[in-house]
Amino acid sequence: MTFRRTWAVARKESIHVIRDPRALGVSIALPLVLLLLFGYALTLDVDHVPLLLWDQSQTPESRDLGARFTGSPYFDLVAAADSYGDIEDALDHNRALMALVIPVDFGRRVASGRPAEVQVISDGSDANTATIAANYAEAIVQRYSAGLKVKLARRTGTLPPRPPLEVSPRVWFNTDMESMNFIVPGLIAIIMMLIAALLTSLTVAKEWETGTMEQLISTPVRSSEVVIGKLFPYVAVGALDMVLAVLAGRYLFHVPLRGSLLALAAMSMIYLVGALSMGMLISIVTRNQLLASQVAFMATFLPAFLLSGFMFDISNMPKALQLITYLIPARYFVALLRGLYLKGAGPSDLYGEGLFLLAFSVGMVALALKKFKKRLV
């Protein structure tokens, strides 16, 4: 393989890319559009839960409890209910997600220091959201109950009971518990895998369909020089997409980058070369642009989105799927990006993911070189 012939192929492919400004514009704009759509649409935060309140007691005590719910950022009062029928109708028509029912004798029991009960009814259609909202409600009721115990102790002249165990939670790496800080780094990995594979999945297939592959075969250019030369311009486009995605994460979503920018650049280039080579391999095998784009989507986006740990915790998956995730390169890049963004991890912390990405990249390049042959059949 000679540099002069490889550079000639790279120059030829670059001219093809530049001569199609619409495709080039889409390849640059699409990552940003996907990042904006997914970044603002995907969220793990549960707040502003629509709440119904049925206060049967109508006492200062019941109003105090209701105010704790309506004054919380996690609940929004949408209406007052007068019966279980109103609650059922609101939950059925998605006007509310949760209802708080305060019984008639609530005020009397609280005023006399006796135990009192309240009922929380939630829509369990979305089990995860319902569980989180129920935990919010339970925390508000517990704080209200603790305040009542303190008032009762002051009234009787005794010391309020102290819990036998106190928990002092401390959150590292994402102290504000912002789901955006968790989602955006993983989202960059998923989008770049898809875009990189789509960029090169049409290159060789297009040559076969337009009939220019026969001309390329008749030249003294070697197979390895064709593959490597065709990769060069798309590495540049992919690097530009990666830079724009990182800038969008920093200045649009305000996700801090605590790790080394140099380590991010190096790992991103390894990941891009592997993803671009994977798209090239798909193009070489299929020899059809439509089929190549479909295979590239199925082989990159879906596995990366579902099995990389981006949306679903790998440890909660069945054992068989957990083993399959080791074959998904996005798994390692997602972990690497989150380590760099959130934890400020260094090379000693990320060398395992880096080695897997390097093996993926080298393997994809080797397969693409092996599969591409300068012959018509």
Residue by residue, DSSP assigns 230-266 as: HHHHHHHHHHHHHHHHHHHHHHTS-----S-HHHHHH
**Helix pair angle (329-338, 179-200), 10° resolution:** 140
Quote the pLDDT of residue 330.
92
- Quickly count helices (H) and strands (E) in the chain: 15, 4
Per DSSP (E only), the strands in the chain are: 49-55, 75-80, 98-102, 119-122
- What three-state secondary structure class fits 93? coil
DSSP 340: I
DSSP 159: P
**Per the structure block, which two tokens stand in for 174?**
């994402």
Phi, psi of 350 (to 5 degrees): -115, 5
List, for residues 142-175, the tens digit of each pLDDT value.
889 888 887 777 777 676 666 667 777 787 887 7
Contacts of residue 205, defined as CB under 8 A and 6 or more positions apart, other chains included, come to 283, 286, 287, 288, 289, 291, 292
**Overall size of the chain counted in residues:** 377
Quote the pLDDT of residue 376.
58
Quote the pLDDT of residue 168.
77
Number of other CB atoms surrounding residue 356 within 10 Å: 17
Quote the pLDDT of residue 161.
63
Per DSSP (E only), the strands in 141-204 are: none
- What three-state secondary structure class fits 77? strand
Q: pLDDT tens for the chain, 377 residues: list them.
A: 787 888 888 888 888 788 878 878 878 888 888 888 888 877 777 888 999 999 999 999 899 999 999 888 899 999 999 999 999 999 998 899 999 999 999 988 888 878 888 999 999 888 888 888 999 999 999 889 888 887 777 777 676 666 667 777 787 887 777 788 888 898 899 888 888 888 888 787 777 777 777 777 777 788 888 888 888 889 999 899 999 999 998 898 888 888 889 999 999 999 999 999 999 899 888 888 888 888 988 888 888 888 998 888 898 889 999 999 999 999 999 999 999 998 888 777 888 889 999 999 999 999 998 888 866 55
Does the CA dihedral 129-130-132-136 come out positive or negative?
Answer: positive
List, for residues 136-146, the tens digit of each pLDDT value.
999 999 889 88
Domain boundaries, the chain: 3-43+178-371, 49-156
Phi, psi of 53 (to 5 degrees): -125, 120
Tell me the CATH number for domain 49-156: 3.40.1710.10
